[in-house]
């Protein structure tokens, strides 16, 4: 007799999770930076899936519950030994090793989602944690995020290998079971208990609550960034020839040096009256890099007097743009590396979020 082992929500969860992980891995490891917007979206999706799964581990059908993947070392050892002998014991739900694997996968995924939120908040000043986090703390956790990501990929490989080995040894189509949800009930086995009748509303409530609170928190002003009123003199005088660079892009020392030689401003005469020079200098040095905790302020750190250009000559700037073809910088709608705003929609705000990168098509 065929019975349902994995209910529809559990199966949907499984395959949506696979898709979300695939999008996350693909966008982060193989695609250029602008694709990170899909990484962030898939990350939020993953977070929602994990919240659902948490509820389902408490209220879902029998084999979706946490008891099925609580690690039992003795049982795991016995099961692995049986596999080596080619005669593993069949389980209607998770076998002991598979259950432990699922527990490890869910733990790693939860940590990935959390460290991802931390990185997004502290480094890109976005999302529910942006109000509370510093760049430095968040970037340390981003390292952990990366280590966990590779670990997860290895674990996912092991999970798949385990499924294939067991399918073969037990002559059971385990992947198909995760699609249809059905298995043959063998003699001596008992049909599993279905989900708690309130499981679905409970999952919905948890999702709405958590995402609602998260959305509210994401409306708070981020730590280390604020909207800046640019004085008219800066917008008009400096902004006449190039974008009015956000003052966070150079430290006060750098702005002082730039403003001290306007008559030879990278090959151009940009001299201004003493009064205007003083006004603009005061704005730039008073709002310089030291006052911000953004990605650009942290990474473009310092002023290299020897660099050919203070911002685009920066080592980090060069590394971040190393895959941008020289022809793009010379397109008629870009012209120069100094034209940040040609590609970065939020350059004027000093944020440089991955979602705001749009490299324009060559018009010629």
First to last CA, the chain: 68
Per-residue interface string for the shown chain with other proteins, residues 286-325, x marking contact by CB under 8 A: ----------------------------------------
112 vs 272, which CB is nearer to other proteins? Answer: 272
* Residue list 247-276, contact with other proteins (CB under 8 A): 267-273
**186 vs 308, beta carbon nearer other proteins:** 308
205 binds other proteins (CB under 8 A): no
Q: Does 178 bind other proteins (CB under 8 A)?
A: no
Contact (Cβ atoms closer than 8 angstroms) between residue 341 and residue 312:
no
Q: Which two tokens stand for residue 208?
A: 């709405």
Q: Any contact of residue 335 with other proteins (CB under 8 A)? A: yes
- In the complex with other proteins, the residue whose CB is nearer, 256 or 333, is 333
- Which of 334, 347, 353, 357 touches other proteins (CB under 8 A)? 334
Cα distance between residue 85 and residue 41, in whole Å:
44
Q: Which residues pair with 32 in a beta bridge?
A: none
- Angle, vertex CA 208, rays to CA 37 and CA 118, nearest 5: 40
Nearer to other proteins, 188 or 267 (CB): 267
Cα angle for residues 282, 273, 233 (degrees, 5° grid): 50
Nearest to 135 by CA among 148, 118, 149, 147: 118
Size of the site for other proteins (CB under 8 A): 20
Choose among 282, 286, 295, 276: nearest CA to 344: 295
Nearer to other proteins, 90 or 276 (CB): 276
Residues 6+ apart with CB under 8 A from 62: 68, 93, 192, 193, 194
* Contact (Cβ atoms closer than 8 angstroms) between residue 24 and residue 42: yes
CB of 307 to other proteins, least distance (A): 18
Q: Which of 103, 316, 339, 356 binds other proteins (CB under 8 A)?
A: 339
Stretch that binds other proteins, among 4-12, 106-114, 121-129, 327-335 (CB under 8 A): 327-335
Query: Taking the CB of residue 184, how many other CB atoms lie within 10 A of it?
Result: 11
As beta bridge partners, residue 344 has: 357
Closer residue to other proteins (CB): 218 or 338: 338
**CB neighbourhood size of 305 (10 A):** 8
CB 49 within 8 A of CB 16: yes
Of 171 and 332, which has the nearer Cβ to other proteins?
Answer: 332
Among 201, 336, 358, 362, binds other proteins (CB under 8 A): 336
Q: Which of 171, 323, 332, 361 binds other proteins (CB under 8 A)?
A: 332
Binding string, residues 215-254; x marks residues near other proteins by CB under 8 A: ------------------------xxxxx-----------
Nearest to 245 by CA among 93, 99, 352: 352
Instruction: Please report how close the Cβ of residue 173 comes to other proteins at its closest, in angstroms.
Output: 59
Rounded CA separation 268/20 (Å): 50
Q: At closest approach, how far in Å is the CB of 348 from other proteins? A: 12
- Residues lying near other proteins in the complex (CB under 8 A) are found at 239-243, 267-273, 332-336, 338-339, 342
């Amino acid at each position: 007799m065929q019975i349902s082992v994995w209910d529809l929500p559990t199966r949907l969860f499984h395959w949506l999770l696979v898709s979300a992980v695939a999008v996350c891995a693909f966008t982060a490891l193989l695609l250029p930076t602008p694709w990170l917007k899909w990484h962030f979206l898939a990350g939020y999706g993953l977070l929602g899936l994990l919240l659902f799964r948490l509820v389902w581990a408490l209220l879902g059908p029998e084999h979706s519950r946490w008891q099925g993947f609580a690690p039992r070392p003795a049982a795991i050892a016995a099961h692995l030994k049986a596999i080596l002998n080619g005669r593993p014991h069949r389980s209607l739900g998770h076998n002991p090793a598979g259950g432990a694997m699922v527990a490890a996968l869910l733990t790693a995924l939860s940590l990935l989602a959390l460290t991802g939120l931390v990185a997004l908040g502290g480094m890109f000043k976005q999302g529910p944690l942006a109000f509370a986090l510093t760049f430095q703390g968040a970037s340390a956790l981003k390292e952990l995020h990366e280590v966990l990501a590779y670990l997860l990929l290895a674990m996912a490989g092991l999970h798949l290998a385990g499924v294939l080995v067991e399918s073969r040894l037990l002559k059971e189509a385990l992947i198909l079971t995760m699609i249809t949800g059905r298995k043959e009930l063998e003699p001596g086995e008992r049909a599993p208990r279905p989900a708690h009748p309130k499981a679905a509303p409970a999952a919905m409530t948890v999702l709405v609550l958590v995402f609602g609170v998260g959305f509210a928190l994401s409306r708070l002003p981020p730590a280390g960034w604020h909207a800046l009123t640019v004085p008219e003199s800066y917008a008009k005088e400096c902004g006449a020839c190039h974008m009015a660079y956000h003052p966070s892009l150079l430290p006060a020392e750098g702005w002082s040096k730039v403003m001290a030689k306007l008559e030879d401003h990278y090959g151009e005469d940009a001299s201004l009256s003493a009064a205007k020079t003083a006004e603009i200098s005061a704005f730039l040095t008073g709002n310089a890099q030291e006052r911000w905790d953004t990605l650009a302020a942290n990474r473009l750190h310092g002023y290299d007097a020897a660099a050919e250009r203070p911002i685009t000559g920066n080592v980090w700037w060069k590394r971040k743009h190393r895959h941008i073809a020289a022809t793009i910088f010379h397109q008629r709608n870009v012209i120069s590396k100094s034209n940040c705003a040609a590609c970065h929609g939020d350059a004027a705000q000093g944020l440089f979020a991955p979602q705001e990168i749009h490299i324009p098509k060559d018009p010629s």
